[in-house]
């Protein structure tokens, strides 16, 4: 019989835990799975651990009172070490992740997927009753991940806290996981060896009891964690190379503008536009040979035109932002913000073409 380990990090979830376990039990038993719930508690003052111990009398619950660094991710990594199941599921205790979906996630792993994500951002998935800024932060996080970890392009919700994974996948990379990372799924997606990923839509519900522990600090943690993973995967170096090439393009642009104007005269704008194209060509050659050396799987013309599209869209964004902000923050700062945003847009779109 298949054994499923459900790893649940908890901090002050005494009121939610009995409901969670009851709902898990019903779903998993109906589906014919054996299971264990690993409650990874960080000495919650509300007595979550005691509640878990009581539940252990009636259900296959294994409560742990953690030592060592507190936090959601380290708690999950500890859970990975303790888990005995063939399939390991990670979920929150607060019932925002529907327990009834666990059998479906597990079923997909048994079908042959290595990682199955409970996803808020595939069709059919959604988030109930989130304030607009919560949504914005979450979407911003996904976008940030997309820019700096382009290999995750196909994954709609790489920062979900609800997923199932084949035991061997976790085992193989356990020692490489950084438990201080902000999102353990992201950590797995970058560091683990896997082939097939599936996303199952979930409706992310409002918390029943207690309150969220995640605040503004999390945004910064997310940014740092993503950049660390990008350094690990080599994508941070790619972003730096892209910036270096972009900077070289400025000189190519200025030099060829002067040269072209000397050659053809007439209105400056003609020389400027031609010079822009010359710099795009030179950036393309450098990026294609250097920045994206390891990512030239697509045909030449696809890369060539893709890069052009990215460059021109980025150029328009850069100039538009510069123009719009000039009156607000001054000419130079507006220009710098324009350059920064233009860079991000170009890099994002170029990644999109290459990956
Ligand atoms: N062990 C442990 N669990 C935590 C910690 N912080 C949050 N959790 C648990 O992680 C899950 C997600 O936290 P939550 O505050 O709901 O985050 P949100 O859903 O993003 O608002 C819940 O089950 C929390 O109880 C922590 O420091 N240690
Ligand atoms: Mg929550």
Do 165 and 87 touch, CB atoms closer than 8 A? yes
Closest CA relative to residue 321, chosen from 352, 351, 345: 345
Distance separating alpha carbons of residues 185 and 115, to the nearest angstrom: 9
Closest CA relative to residue 227, chosen from 115, 116, 149, 301: 149
Pocket of ligand 1 contains residue 40 by CB under 6 Å: yes
**308 CA to centre of ligand 1 in angstroms:** 44
pTM listed for this prediction: 0.89
DSSP string, 301-349: HHHHHHHHHHHHHHHHHHHHHHHHHHHHH-HHHHHHHHHHHHHHHHHHH
The backbone torsions φ and ψ at residue 308, rounded to the nearest 5 degrees and listed phi first, read: -60, -45
Do 4 and 99 touch, CB atoms closer than 8 A? no
Closest CA relative to residue 178, chosen from 40, 252, 77: 77
At 185 the pLDDT is: 96
3 state DSSP class of 11: coil
Sheet with 87-90, edge to edge strand ranges: 61-65, 34-41, 3-10, 87-90, 163-166, 115-119, 197-201
The string of pLDDT tens digits covering residues 119-139 is 999 999 999 888 888 888 888
For the beta carbon of residue 81, count every other beta carbon within 10 angstroms: 11
Residue minimizing CA distance to atom 26 of ligand 1: 71
Only one residue has tokens 């979920």, namely: 91
**204 CA to centre of ligand 1 in angstroms:** 15
Tokens standing for residue 247: 């900077």
Pocket of ligand 1 contains residue 75 by CB under 6 Å: yes
Q: Given phi > 0 = left and psi -120 to 50 = alpha, else beta, which region is 352? A: alpha
Pocket of ligand 1 contains residue 78 by CB under 6 Å: no
For β-strands 115-119 and 163-166, DSSP reports them as antiparallel
For β-strands 163-166 and 3-10, DSSP reports them as unpaired
- pLDDT in single tens digits along all 355 residues of the chain: 899 999 999 999 999 999 999 999 999 999 999 999 999 999 999 999 999 999 999 999 999 999 988 989 999 999 999 999 999 999 999 999 999 999 999 999 999 999 999 999 999 999 988 888 888 888 888 989 999 999 999 999 999 999 999 999 999 999 999 877 778 999 999 999 999 999 999 999 888 787 776 667 778 888 999 999 999 999 999 999 999 999 999 999 999 999 999 999 889 999 999 999 999 999 999 999 999 999 999 999 999 999 999 999 999 999 999 999 999 999 899 999 999 999 999 999 999 999 9
Which CA distances in Å does 354 have to 125, 236, 304? 28, 16, 10
């Amino acid at each position: 019989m298949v054994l499923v380990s459900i790893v649940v990090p908890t901090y002050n979830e005494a009121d939610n835990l009995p409901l969670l376990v009851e709902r898990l039990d019903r779903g998993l038993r109906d589906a014919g799975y054996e299971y264990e719930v690993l409650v990874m508690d960080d000495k919650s003052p509300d007595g979550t651990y005691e509640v878990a111990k009581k539940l252990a009398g009636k259900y296959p619950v294994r409560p742990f009172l953690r030592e060592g660094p507190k936090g959601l991710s380290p708690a999950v990594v500890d859970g990975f070490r303790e888990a005995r199941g063939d399939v390991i599921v990670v979920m929150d205790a607060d019932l925002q992740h529907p327990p009834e979906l666990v059998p479906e996630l597990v079923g997909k792993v048994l079908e042959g997927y290595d990682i199955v994500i409970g996803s808020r951002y595939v069709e059919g998935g959604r988030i109930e009753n989130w304030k607009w800024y919560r949504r914005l932060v979450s979407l911003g996080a996904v976008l940030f991940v997309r820019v700096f970890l382009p290999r995750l392009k196909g994954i709609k919700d790489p920062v979900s806290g609800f997923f199932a994974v084949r035991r061997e996948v976790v085992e193989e990379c356990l020692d490489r996981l950084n438990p201080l990372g902000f999102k353990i799924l992201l950590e797995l997606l970058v560091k683990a060896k896997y082939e097939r990923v599936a996303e199952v839509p979930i409706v992310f519900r409002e918390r029943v009891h207690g309150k969220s522990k995640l605040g503004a600090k999390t945004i910064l943690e997310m940014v740092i964690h993503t950049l660390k993973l990008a350094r690990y995967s080599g994508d941070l170096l790619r972003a730096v190379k892209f910036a270096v090439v972009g900077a070289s393009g400025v000189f190519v642009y200025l030099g060829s503008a002067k040269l072209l104007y000397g050659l053809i005269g007439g209105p400056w704008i003609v020389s400027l536009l031609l010079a822009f194209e010359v710099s795009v060509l030179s950036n393309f050659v450098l990026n294609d040979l250097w920045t994206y050396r390891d990512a030239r799987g697509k045909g030449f013309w696809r890369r060539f035109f893709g890069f052009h599209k990215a460059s021109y869209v980025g150029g328009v964004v850069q100039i538009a932002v510069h123009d719009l902000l000039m009156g607000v923050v001054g000419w130079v700062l507006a220009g710098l913000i324009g350059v920064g945003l233009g860079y991000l847009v170009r890099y994002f779109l170029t990644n999109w073409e290459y990956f």
